[in-house]
Amino acid sequence: MKKIAFIFALLAAAQVSAQDGWGGGWGDDGGSSGGGWGESSGSGSSEGGSEASGAPAVAPTVEIVIPTIGTHYDDPAESHYEPAYVENDGNTKIKEGVVIVRPYLREADVKMRRRVWRVIDLRQKMNRCWTWPKQPISQVFWELGTKGLVRAYTSDSLNRIMTPEDIIRSTAEIITTQKQRPGSDDPTDLIDTSFAEYFDWSKIEKFEIMEDWVFDYKHGEWKPIIIAIAPIKPRSIMGRTYDEKPFWMKMDDCRPTLAKCEVYNRYNDVMRLNWDQQINLHRLFDSYIVKTTDWDDRYINDKPEFQQDQLAALLEGEKVKNDLFIFEHDLWEY
Residue 19, domain member (yes or no): no
Beta-strand relationship, 110-121 and 288-292: antiparallel
Q: How far is CA 92 from the centre of its chain?
A: 36
Residue 332, domain member (yes or no): no
Confidence at 92, pLDDT banded by 50, 70, 90: very low
pLDDT per position as a tens digit, 199-234: 888 889 999 999 999 998 888 889 999 999 999 988
The total of structural domains in the chain comes to: 1
Q: Where are the beta strands (DSSP E) in the chain?
A: 110-121, 152-153, 161-162, 173-180, 190-197, 206-216, 221-237, 240-244, 248-250, 288-292
Confidence at 198, pLDDT banded by 50, 70, 90: confident
Position with higher pLDDT, 54 vs 238: 238
Residue 57, domain member (yes or no): no
Query: Phi-psi region for residue 202, left (φ > 0), alpha (ψ -120 to 50) or beta?
Result: alpha
Confidence at 11, pLDDT banded by 50, 70, 90: low
Residue 193, domain member (yes or no): yes
Query: Which range, 178-187, 192-201, 216-225, 239-248, is most confident?
Result: 216-225
Q: Find residue 113's DSSP bridge partners.
A: 214
Position with higher pLDDT, 319 vs 174: 319
Query: Is 146:162 a contact under the CB 8 Å cutoff?
Result: no
pLDDT per position as a tens digit, 106-146: 888 888 899 999 999 999 988 988 888 888 889 899 999 99
pTM greater than the 0.75 cutoff: no
pLDDT per position as a tens digit, 266-317: 777 777 888 898 899 889 899 999 999 988 888 998 888 888 888 998 999 8
Crossing angle for the helix pair 137-146 and 164-171, to the nearest 10 degrees: 120
Residue 297, domain member (yes or no): no
Query: Is 253:158 a contact under the CB 8 Å cutoff?
Result: no
Instruction: Identify the CA nearest to 100 among candidates 250, 221, 279, 321.
Output: 279
Residue 311, domain member (yes or no): no
pLDDT per position as a tens digit, 141-166: 999 999 889 999 999 999 999 999 89
Give the chain's radius of gyration (CA, Å): 38
Number of CB atoms found within 10 A of residue 139's CB: 16
Instruction: Identify the CA nearest to 248 among candidates 268, 265, 233.
Output: 233
Residue 101 pLDDT: 83
Confidence at 176, pLDDT banded by 50, 70, 90: confident
Instruction: Identify the CA nearest to 250 among candidates 229, 276, 278.
Output: 229
Residue 44 pLDDT: 44
| Mean pLDDT, residues 80-84 | 47
Per the structure, the complete domain to which residue 178 belongs is given by 114-288
Position with higher pLDDT, 64 vs 30: 64
| Mean pLDDT, residues 27-48 | 44
Query: Is 213:237 a contact under the CB 8 Å cutoff?
Result: no
- DSSP code for 136: -
Residue 7 pLDDT: 58
Residue 282, domain member (yes or no): yes
Letter string b/e over residues 236-254, b meaning 16 or more CB atoms within 10 A of that residue's CB:
eeeeeeeeebbbbbbbeeb
